[in-house]
Amino acid sequence: MGNSIEIFISSMTNNNIALIYILGMCPLIAISTSIKNAKGMGLAVIFVVTITAIINYPIYHLLKTTGTTQISLLVFIITIAATVQFLEMFLEKYLPKLYNTFGIYLPLITVNCVVLAVSLFFVNREYSFIETVSFSVGSSVGWLIAIVLLAAIREKMAKKSDVPRGLAGKGITFIILGILSLAFIGFTGLASI
Amino acid sequence: MRLIKLKYTKWYNIMKQGLSESNPIAIAVLGICSALAVTNRVENAIAMGLGVTFVIIASSATISLMRNFIPSKVRMVTYMVVISTYVIAVQMFLEAFYSDIATALGAYVGLIITNCIVMGRAEAYAVKNPVHYSIIDGLANGLGYTYVLVVVAIIREMLAFGTILNYQVLPDTWENWVVMAMAPGGFFILGMFIWLIRELTKNYEVVN
């Protein structure tokens, strides 16, 4: 149990999936123009990452007993696509309020590398089921923290700063991400994964 | 004379689009995850670039061959299945012949599946165009991706370890910039690289 708490904290801070492992960059850069959208996307990611990790864990162990782990990539990606599709339909029908908050971000999540990466990392690191759950929740919360921080900085910068023309837009976003990433390296040694 | 004619052929224009005008990393900013994560060593960058190039060419060709049979409702899932099949091939090839690089790249080989460039070329080009042009388009985008990766990797490896492809290039007195081997170095170098490319091509981004 203690180990899974450590994994949870570590995957949010010194092993942050966005700023240290550099994953999920496309949506991180595309959607971080306003805090509201960033929050919606972050919540959708938490939801999908946790559910797919819980589904993929038993499937991987089934593949392991039958000795067909080579195709795990193919199986994972199909699970993710199916889960996202199912969640979208389910939320639209039964929880329209929740659907309005982050429904529009769901289709974008299939190509978010965080979802697949969490499934691949628990395989590489040989986590138990509880560790997998805490790792998936921790990483996706870490991703939410990163995107909201970035969006807040970009919102302020859009009003006040005078960025060189060639650097405006994507270029300056990378510089901000670099500085944020340096800050998160400061957490090194807080907890180990 | 032949060179002038060459400039107006379709494949020349496709190559030019992929390599400079709409370069997948520098201009369209797609597929950044792998571009930053594997560029701390030049050999990793070359392996990743070639792997992605192979996957783009093969999946573009396959999808282009099947473009008249894929129902448009399930096309995304079809792309996913085609792409992941080729990614598994790349993964098994690396593990069998270059196990050091496979260990260094780790999970990032599997993550080629979610590399937006592959998906993007399938959706934007291969599904509408004949096979031979799709293959050239895949090659152009793959090479455009690879050369940015290699340039970023050369700068990072030189500053972080004083070496290029493990050959010492900077004097022994060089103080290694450890931060360049980690995530922030990648962000800074790629940001600067995008700035340089946009400044050189005068292709500025419109910010509203």
3-state secondary structure of B167: strand
Of A73, A173, A177, the CB nearest to B84: A73
Q: Is residue B167 one of the residues assigned to a domain?
A: no
Contacts of A29 in chain B (CB under 8 A): 29, 32
Q: How far is CA B5 from the centre of its chain?
A: 29
pLDDT tens profile A14-65:
889 999 888 888 888 888 888 988 888 888 889 899 999 999 999 999 999 9
3-state secondary structure of B164: strand
Q: Is residue B59 one of the residues assigned to a domain?
A: yes
Q: Is residue B95 one of the residues assigned to a domain?
A: yes
Contact B33 A24 (CB under 8 A): yes
Query: Which residues does residue B163 pair with via DSSP β-bridges, in sequence order?
Result: B168
Please say whether the beta carbons of A127 and A58 come within 8 A: no
Q: Is residue B42 one of the residues assigned to a domain?
A: yes
Provide ipTM, 2 decimals. 0.87
- Return the domain boundaries, chain A: 2-185
d(CA B158, CA B18): 27
> Domain residues for B93?
30-152
pLDDT tens profile A125-161:
889 999 999 999 999 999 999 999 999 999 998 888 8
Contact A25 B32 (CB under 8 A): yes
Of B33, B114, B116, the CB nearest to A22: B33
Please say whether the beta carbons of B122 and B57 come within 8 A: no
CB atoms closer than 10 angstroms to residue A186: 10
Of A26, A74, A164, the CB nearest to B85: A74
pLDDT tens profile A99-124:
887 777 777 787 778 898 999 888 88
Contact A178 B199 (CB under 8 A): no
H/E run at residue A72: helix A72-94
Contact A73 B113 (CB under 8 A): yes
Per-residue pLDDT of chain B (208 residues; tens, 9 = 90+): 566 666 667 878 888 888 877 788 877 778 888 788 888 889 989 999 999 999 999 999 999 999 888 888 788 888 888 999 999 999 999 999 998 888 888 888 888 888 888 888 888 888 889 999 999 999 999 999 998 899 999 999 999 988 888 888 888 888 888 888 888 999 999 999 888 888 888 777 776 5
Number of domains observed in the structure of chain B: 1
Which pTM was predicted?
0.88
Q: Is residue B24 one of the residues assigned to a domain?
A: no
